[in-house]
Every structure is written in structure tokens, then in C-alpha cells.
Amino acid sequence: LGRHCWPMEKTTVLITGCSSGIGLGLAARLAADTARRFKVYATMRDLAKGERLLERLGGYCPDTLEVLQLDVTDPRSLAAAAQRVQGQQLDVLVCNAGVGLMGPLETCSDHAMKTVFDVNLFGAIRTIQAFLPAMKRRRAGRIIVSSSIGGLQGLPFNSVYCASKFALEGLCESLAIVLRPFNIHLTLVECGPVKTSFLANLQRPDPEELQ
């Protein structure tokens, strides 16, 4: 029997938080796939940091990668990104944007704590809200959410970060049940320590904010 080579449809993936770490690594890995199976929308708050991703790939890859500005704390930014991919069939949404806060609880300001929840929890909620309706209409899709072992157990001096991840776990476990009839699968990835710039980017308590 002869073999017929049919053109393969690309799997369209949108990833938040691609300026560094896991998001950058995942975007680069998919965009560099030798079989060109993926079209990646790599999003980040600061587009200037997109150079790291392009350096990893050795230049532009217009067929497999598009870098978009997206701030998960800004509804207008999310709406613009959703509008940009509106004509595409988004197969996979990866909610990866996140921020940490390390230090004794009594040194953490309201502003710092609210920022952690605004990115880690409400940022994921806003992102899912922006792209879920199209997946429901198509009755197909996969949502992958970056959680942490900090969403399974408390870690010393990470109480606020862990609280945001515990909340994220509850959100996703509840959402996964109601999305199954729509053929939308939700996956939580509970990472342990990963060698990225996450620790370097941690928010640190500022005692002056508490005075």
C-alpha cells in the first residue's frame, strides 16, 4: 500500500508569561518543532523581553511563532489579544503567568499581597474568561494552568504565594467538572523547583511600605 502525505493542521497554542522561565521554554520548544506541528502565540507583559525568545529560536519564525503583548492584570490587554487570535481555532490555552512573594507574613504589605493574587489567581481567571467562550462554541479545547507544589502544601515564608496557588487549585478543580461536557480538558501542572529566573524575580517585602 502506498502512503499519502496529507498536510497537517497546526495545533494553535497561546501561552501567557513567556518573557522568561517555563513560558519561554515551552514557547521555544513548540515553535522550534521540526515537524512544524504548532502555531504558538507567545504572550508577555513587556514585549521588549521578547528578544530572549527570538534569540532562543535564532530569529523570527513567522509560520510557528507570533509574540503578542498581554498583561493578565489588564482586561483591555486581554481583550486585544483575544481579538488578535479570534480568527484562529485556539486549541490549547496555557495560563503560565505568575509572580512570587517571599518573606515573613507580617512584613508583606497589602499592595504586594494583592499583586500576587491579581496575577496568580485573578490573572488566570481573566485569561480563561477571555478565551473560554470560543472553546465552548467549538466544543473542543485544552486549558493548562501552571500551579505549584505550593498549591498542595504550605511552604515556609511563602504563605501568600501558597494561598494564591491553593485558590487556583480550587478554581481549576471546580471548573474541570463543568467543562467536561464541552469536551474541554483542564490540566493543572504542579511544578516543584525549576531552574528559572522566578526566584530572582520574586517580590520581596518592603518594610517602608508598612510604616
Which residues belong to the active site?
161
Looking up cell 500500500, which residue turns up? 1
Tell me the residue ranges of DSSP E strands in 101-211.
141-148, 184-191
Closest to 38 in 3D by CA, of 26, 46, 49, 47: 26
In sequence order, the β-bridge partners of residue 39 are 12
Matching residue, cell 521588549: 48
Q: Are strands 11-15 and 38-44 parallel, antiparallel or unpaired?
A: parallel
φ and ψ at 161, to 5 degrees? -60, -50
The amino acid at residue 101 is: L
CB of 109 within 8 A of CB of 205? yes
Give the HSE-up count for residue 88: Cα atoms under 13 Å, Cβ half-sphere: 22
CB 163 within 8 A of CB 150: no
Angle CA(181)–CA(132)–CA(39) in degrees, nearest 5? 110
